[in-house]
Structure formats: structure tokens, C-alpha cells
Structure 1
Amino acid sequence: MTIRITKKSERKLYAGYPLIQPDDLQEVPQNFSPNWLDFIDSKGNFIASGYLGKQNKGIGWLVNWHGSVDSAFLQDLFFQAKRQRAIYEQDPATSAYRLFNGEGDGLGGLTIDRYNDFVVFSWYNETLYNMKEEIVQAFRKSVPDIIGGYEKIRFSNQTLPESQKLFGEEAPEPLLIVENGVTYATYLNDGLMTGIFLDQKDVRGRLIEGIAAGKTVLNMFSYTGAFSVASAMGGAMGTTSVDLAKRSLPKTREQFEVNHLDSDAQKIVVMDVFEYFKYAVRKNLSYDVIVLDPPSFARNKKKVFSVAKNYGDLVKDAVDILSSTGLLIASTNAANISIEKYKKMIIQALEEKKVRYQFKETYQLPNDFRTNKQFEEGNYLKVFFIEIKK
């Protein structure tokens, strides 16, 4: 089956841009085919093969600009992805990393994360999920050392469980992985999240190296406290982890304990982050290092938060409880905000607080999260280390 592209979209798609939007097509089919498709230009010439599948980014992906998609092509994609991660495979200090990163490795709509000898497949649209037998079979032929797999359903579906075992052996709970020599407890079949966000490995690595050594660290939106553990392992004098989710308390304690650190010596607070800022001001608390890594969008009973609208407020609140010379680690995974726009938002907030500041270090996705140069929005992570003097 062929899908015809509009003339105005031909150039970008020929150049390797992989994402299909509705206005790229001369006619959007009412029902999407569960098969690989050929995309052709306005004159009927082949552009690339791919598929149509609704997800939050668009309605389909181009996959192969040189021919069709078949089992041999998929096996080669997975083999090349594994080869690109050889440095991680041979590193005894890191056993969890992204093994296949969607369009960055040639197949948008699918990511595969490795945790020791297990993998987690994340499916981002129904079309690709319906082709999973062919995809998983190709993966297992190319990466035969994996002993078990799980899957996460990251598209809207009322009948599928959001997480389930996919093949092979069951992973222990917790599954203890290592990253930069630090241990983290992960759970491969506990909802959509596993207990650690692997895209932050370089930032955690910097904390482990000792950038917060001898300092007090406040970790906001702390989830399972991975930044706090990395800071403590890097010699931080004390950490405070704040998250609204009740389960963040036992999960964060566990992360300290699997590294033989006394969790009672660290502060773990279950509270709304914005309320904690107010509490800290009332109690005259201050911190040498503050980590701000909120979700792109969050809602509680009192407030709706989005990075695009409210990140500057977070920065200003953080400045109020930062030491006279402090370090702000500002992070977002919002793909809809460019790194330039994100930096401007932070600068505007800092200028309003009339503080001196210097952007010291910048991080984006680590090497295992491969990106497509034609698809800049795929490099969604943006992290700044900012020195602030009040």
C-alpha cells in the first residue's frame, strides 16, 4: 500500500526527517493499516517506507529510505543499535542503559531499555504494537543474550495492561542495577516507570564525581531519590528529597539502603514542592545545591504546573532558599521547548531576582539515547548547572 505525500513536505522527508504529521499527507486514511507502507511523492516516486500510527508526536514514522521494512532490516537495526552501545556492554560500572532509542536508531515509536540481562520495550502507538511479534523476534535474534523482557503500553488503550511480561524469565524485585558504580533498585513490572530515569545518567555521574561534595543538596520532584543518592555517594554533607507521591518515601529509603547508606541520616519529605519552598522560607532553611527536575506537566488539588508556563516560578522559589553562593541544577524533559527558549526562561527569572549567575555546564541526552540529526526535538533533555551569587 502507498501513501502520497504533499508537495510542500517532500523536501524535509527526502532529507531524512522521520515524523509524519496529518498535513504531510495528501489524504489521511480513516483507518491506519497495521502493515508497513510505502510513502511516495506527488509524482509517485518512492521516498521511504514506514507506517502510520497515532501517538502524541504525530501520526506515523518513516523508517527505511532505501527499500522496504522486513525481518532482515529490523534485525540489522537492532544489531547496529547493540553495536553502538558496546562501550556500555563492556563497562562493569554501568548495567542499565537505553539499548534502542526510537527514531534515533531508525524506528520511531519504540524504545528498548536494558537492565542487566533484561529489557523493557516501550510501545508508543498501536500500529507498532500490533507488529510486535515480528519486531520482538528480530530483536531476540540480534541480541540473543537477553534472558527476559517486559513491555510498557504508552499509548491510550483501555484493554491492555500498562505493564506486563513480554518473554523469557521473570526479573527479581527489586532488580539491582549499577550506573557509574552506584546501585539502584528497579522494578520492571510496576506500572509505566521502573524507579530510575536512564536519560539522567550523565547528570548523576557528575554528582557522583563530587560536584556537591561537602554541600547540602535539595532534590525537588525527587521521585525515588536517584539524584540524592548520587549526591550522597559523591560526598554531599546531607540531602533532602521532596516529592508529593507517598511512595517516594519507601522508594527513596530503599535506594540509599542498597548502597549501604543510612537513610535516617538523609531527609525524605512527602510534600507538594511549592508548599515546601514556603516551608523552607518560614524555617530559614537554605541549601548549597538545588536540583529542579519537574515533570513537563503536573496537576494537584491546588495547582496545574507546566514547564512552559511555570518553570520560571520554580527558579525564583529556588533562589530564595539557595545559599549566598549556590548551584542550581535546572532540568527539563519537555520536548516542545527548545534549549534556547528554556535558557531564556531561566535567565528571565534570575534577572527578576537580581542575582549574579553563570551557566557552568550543559547536558543533553547521553550517548546511549541516540538522536536523529534531522529531528532536533528528539534531543528533548536539557540540563544546566548554574552558579548563583546573591
Structure 2
Amino acid sequence: MGKEIDIKVKAKFVSKISKGFPLIVKESIANLNDLQEEGSLVRLVDENNRFLAKGYYGIQNKGYGWILTRRENEKIDQSFFNGKIQAAYEFRKSFFEDGETTAFRLFNGEGDGIGGLIIDHYDGHYVISWYSKGIYFFKDYILKALQETVEVKSIYQKKRFDTKGQYVEEDDFVMGEQPEFPLLVKENGVHFAVYLNDGAMVGVFLDQRDVRRKIRDEYAKGKTVLNMFSYTGAFSVFAALGGAVKTTSVDLANRSLPKTIEQFSVNGIDPEAHNIVVMDVFKYFKYAVKKALKFEMVILDPPSFAKSKKFTFSAGKDYTNLLKDTISITEDNGVIIASTNCSTFDMKKFKNFIDVAFKEMNGKYEIMEQFSLPADFKTIPEYKEGNYLKVVFIKKIKG
């Protein structure tokens, strides 16, 4: 693997790293100029040259690399990667044995011991997401480890890192037998049409599995449902299968219309019986108020950051206002499912956004239940940012 580079960790960061924090942040490095090639192995030492941990150098939006081991003599070789992938598989064995769910996460970055690496499973086909040139350097080890651990039909990869100043989100078939697309996978018995060869997003976000099941099994029956930032309509499909009277799916992207029609169709649902609206979500709120439209359930799952012609949305700054718009078109005793994948604030702060929104609308509410990441999205307590998903089911109480 070449020579390991010693990284001097500034004194104020030593304790955090010693307690298990896995990210190598730029501000913690005293000798930044010694880092040259991404993919280099690094030894983290304190200012007295005492060993702290070993990791790799790789620049991504979160930091300058990830810690791989806290054992000084452990080698970062084929055996190391085999062990990590095998342990990840063992942790998720029940998913592989569940015929009702064939789409899930096999490897979740630092939660499974290798930050910057994500591996998702789609009915025997795998998608590897590389978040830095640094982790991509270990590609051959990781591909071999994956093939030696599980039965692989095919492998696709998504490179999500900067190359020559350009942000790359490219698709790349790696190996195996390419499936016909759409590839039909299952989640709790429901079908999804996915495209592993279609850029960064394949057609469904796997982290909302538990929330979708809850909507179908306990909340949707007999309700009118509004699904905002609907993407390919996954929430709407589960609501419809759960007995919703009607769903309305709203998203700005033109492709959301054919994609949502497809997801309804592969589940035997007539898309004509539901509304699919291509519109800026913020405009739709105004439209709904103007037309006096109200819904018994509103699902709110915006991206952390979104930009349209007239609006820029940032979850950390604007979620309260988004909730206020939502409250205004939710029926009394209706349910708002508020969700965010923003990692810059925690559940406590998210609940504060909810409280402020209702107070400013002179409304009352009750929190019914809450969700974070499902079991296959393994996280570690030492890196709270990794447990990014926050979903709260809110009942709007008649005032």
C-alpha cells in the first residue's frame, strides 16, 4: 500500500478522536501540506507522536478522510476489507433471507467501519457509491471483498467526488450480467421500478422503508393524501395500497410524472385515479390555499437544499415556514408526516421547528411517533451526523 503518512492531530481534537469519532476533519490536521495523494494511508498521532488511529486521506464534503482502525499494527489490505464486508453481511443476514424486501443497504459507510463507502443491494445487483477519490483508490480490494462475501449478479458504481473542479455524479457498469431495466425490486411486498444505470439516483430512497410501511399499514386508509417533493411517488404508492381515497404527488422535476406513473403501474394501481402534479412545491401551497384544498394527510420530505426559479430552500433555515404552509392545508385532526435528511441539526431541534410552526399558526398538535434510519442503515453513536434521518408523525388537533 505504500508508506503511511503521519498526521499530527491538534491537541484540542485528540480527545474526540480517542473517543471514537471516525472523521478526519481538515481543522484537526497540523501538517496539512504533508498530504499529497488521495488514497494514502495515514497514521494519526498526537503532538507527542503517540499513536491514535489509522485511516485514509480522501477529500469529500464532510472532511479529509476517515479512520479505519485504532489498532496500530492492523494492516489495511485485502483481509481488512474482506472482514468489514463480511461483518456487514452478517449484520444484515435477515434482509437477505426476507423475500418480501429485496432492496436494502448492505454497507453504510462509517457505520460499518469504512467512511465514504456505500453499497446498496437490489435483488442481487449492487450499487457502490464512492464519496472521494481516496476511497475509490481501494476499489479493487472492495470489489473482490464483495464478490467473495455475497452472490453478485452485477455491480454498478456511482462516483460522487470532484474531478478537475467538476462535481461528478456519473453512472458506470462495473461487472456481471446487466439486468433489463426497469429492474423490479420489492420493499415489504411492494414493487419498485429501479434504474441502476440512470445517474446518481436509481428511483427510490431506501432509508424511508419503515416510514412507508407505517403509512400503508396504519395511517392511509380512507384518507386524502398529499405527497410533497414526491420524486417517483413511493410514499403515494404505499398510501394508495394502504387504502387512501386519493393521493396527490407534487414535484418540480418533469421526470417525476412518468416515473410516478410507472411506480403506480408496476403495483397494479391505476395512475388515472390519482393526481400527479409537476409544479414547484412552493407554488402548489399557494395554489391549494387559493382553491381551498385541504388534505387529511400531508407527507413532507424535502431535500436538505433545493433551488427553483423563485425559491431557495434550506432545511436548517426554512423548514419552519414549510411546516406553516403545510399546516394551512391540513384538515383538523389530519396528520403531517414531517421528514428531513439534513445532518446539520438533531431531532430535538427538528421538534423545535415543529413547535414554533404551530405556535406561529396558533395551532395545537400532538406528536404521534417518530422514526430515524432503518436497521440496515447502521450508524455509530460516536458520529451522530451519520444518523441523519428524522421523521415525525404529527396530528393537527382541532383548536
Q: Same fold (TM over 0.5)?
A: yes
CA RMSD of aligned residues (A): 1.3
- 1:150 is aligned to 2:156: yes
Matching residue's letter, 2:31: E
Residue equivalent to 1:92: 99
CA distance in 2, matches of 1:159, 1:195: 21
Residue equivalent to 1:353: 361
Residue equivalent to 2:46: 41
Residue equivalent to 1:330: 338
CA-to-partner distance for each residue in 1:322-359, whole Å, 9 max, x for gaps? 11211000000001111111111111011111111001
Matching residue's letter, 1:279: Y
Residue equivalent to 2:85: 78
- 1:4 is aligned to 2:4: no
Answer yes or no: is the 8 Å Cα contact 1:330–1:384 preserved in 2: yes
- 1:246 is aligned to 2:254: yes
CA distance in 2, matches of 1:102, 1:172: 28
- The runs of at least 4 aligned residues of structure 1 exceeding 6 Å deviation read none
Residue equivalent to 1:183: 191
Shift of 1:171: 2.3
Matching residue's letter, 1:11: S
Shift of 1:133: 1.4
CA-to-partner distance for each residue in 1:136-191, whole Å, 9 max, x for gaps? 11222122x01101011111224966111122111220010000110011000101
Matching residue's letter, 2:216: I
Shift of 1:34: 2.5
Residue equivalent to 2:25: 21
Query: Runs of 5+ in structure 2 lacking a partner?
Result: none
Stretch deviating more after TM superposition (370-379 or 45-54): 45-54
CA distance in 2, matches of 1:62, 1:337: 23
Stretch deviating more after TM superposition (316-325 or 215-224): 316-325
Answer yes or no: is the 8 Å Cα contact 1:220–1:243 preserved in 2: yes
Q: Which secondary structure state, in structure 1, belongs to the residue aligned with residue 232 of structure 2?
A: coil
- 1:387 is aligned to 2:392: no
Matching residue's letter, 2:143: V
- 1:134 is aligned to 2:141: yes
CA distance in 2, matches of 1:159, 1:4: 30
- 1:344 is aligned to 2:335: no
Shift of 1:208: 1.9
Q: Which secondary structure state, in structure 1, belongs to the residue aligned with residue 209 of structure 2?
A: helix
Query: Runs of 5+ in structure 1 lacking a partner?
Result: none
Q: Which secondary structure state, in structure 2, belongs to the residue aligned with residue 107 of structure 1?
A: coil
TM-score norm. by structure 1 comes to: 0.97
Residue equivalent to 1:270: 278
CA distance in 2, matches of 1:214, 1:65: 54
CA distance in 2, matches of 1:61, 1:331: 28
Residue equivalent to 1:117: 124
CA distance in 2, matches of 1:348, 1:318: 13
Residue equivalent to 1:102: 109
Report the number of matched residues: 389
CA distance in 2, matches of 1:62, 1:252: 40
CA distance in 2, matches of 1:137, 1:161: 23
